[in-house]
Amino acid sequence: MGLDVVWAERWVRRTAEVVAEAKDELTELDRQIGDGDHGENLHRGFQAVVAKLDEPDAAERTEVGDVLKLVATTLMSKVGGASGPLYGTAFLRAAKRSARPEVDTSGVVVLLEAALEGVTSRGRAEPGEKTMVDALTPAVEAATAAAAAGQDPVEVLAAAADAAEAGARATVPMVATKGRASYLGERSAGHEDPGARSTALVLGAARDAALA
Ligand code: ADP
Ligand code: MG
Ligand code: MG
């Protein structure tokens, strides 16, 4: 069983919900090591995405990539700062690799790999620099391993979400060397990276949407 455009829309709507619930938490994390706007940035972005999905005269979306492209263009236009272009590029790359009615197990891996490539090509961060890359990289690795073990797309997404969650928690002791948090140097240690946390939320929503 593959994941189709209904899943993709559910993923996006679920993301908007969990981001709304976590808005204050994300903002608080960003207040510790950044400028305190990450929750508001993402909330504004995903509310705009849902508004686009709800437009009555929208063109019919038949491919997973159609939904992800809508996310990409909306985030790029509505979310400023670092995370807008980073998430926008991630979803745009993922969209390009999912121009199909359904994605299967290997399609999920390709989609996640493309998202990571998008973030790294845009932000040039490597693992260990206390960014969203530290959630997305283990997610791709776990998804790859789950797919190689013959798991289905839902299990692959669940593995990715769990690994992103662990990856986000593992940013706590890291010293930031990319983004705004790097201005704090050593003082950035001891706080979870807000972008890594939100990445775990986005992937958790992808899993939840597949289980629904
Ligand atoms: P800003 O820092 O411009 O206010 P946000 O607060 O919305 O933007 O997003 C901050 C998050 O962006 C950080 O927590 C980090 O995860 C991510 N980030 C910043 N710079 C980079 C980068 N070069 N590569 C990957 N992620 C980054
Ligand atoms: Mg910020
Ligand atoms: Mg900002």
- Between CA 171 and CA 51 the distance in angstroms is 33
Ligand 1: atom nearest CA of 132 is 16
Q: How far apart are CA 204 and CA 212, in angstroms?
A: 12
Name the region of 36 (left: φ>0; alpha: ψ -120 to 50; beta: rest): left
Please determine, for the modelled complex, whether the ipTM score is greater than 0.95. Answer: yes
Q: What is the pLDDT of residues 1-44, one digit of tens each?
A: 689 999 999 999 999 999 999 999 999 999 999 999 999 999 99
In the predicted structure, residue 148 carries a pLDDT above the cut 90: yes
* Span 65-119, pLDDT tens digits: 999 999 999 999 999 899 999 999 999 999 999 999 999 999 999 999 999 999 9
Residue 56 has a pLDDT of: 87
Sequence-separated contacts (24+) of 49-52 with Cβ below 8 Å: 49/12, 49/16, 49/74, 49/75, 50/12, 50/13, 50/16
pLDDT-derived band at 212, boundaries 50, 70, 90: confident
Residue 205 alpha carbon to ligand 2 centre in Å? 22
The whole-number pLDDT of residue 139 equals 99
pLDDT tens-digit series, residues 153-199: 999 999 999 999 999 999 999 999 999 999 999 999 999 999 999 99
Cβ burial, residue 182 (10 Å; 0-12/13-18/19+):
middle
- Nearest to residue 169, comparing CAs of 136, 138, 192, 187? 192
Q: Structurally, what CATH architecture does the domain formed by 3-207 represent? A: Alpha Horseshoe (1.25)
Does ligand 1 have an atom closer than 6 angstroms to the CB of 90? Answer: no
Cα separation of the two ends of the chain: 14
Asked whether the whole model's pTM tops 0.80, one would answer: yes
Tokens (6 digits) for 53: 């999905």
Q: How far is residue 209 from each of residues 8, 25, 95, 156, 161, measured CA to CA in Å?
A: 8, 22, 17, 13, 12
Among 38, 120, 199, 202, name the best residue to mutate to test ligand 1's pocket (greatest count of ligand atoms within 8 A of Cβ).
38
Q: What is the pLDDT of residue 39?
A: 98
pLDDT at 58: 79
**CA 103 centroid distance within chain:** 17
Scan for tokens 């290997």, then name that residue: 106
pLDDT band at 130 (very low <50, low <70, confident <90, very high): very high
What is the residue extent of each domain of the chain?
3-207
Mean pLDDT score, 51-65: 92
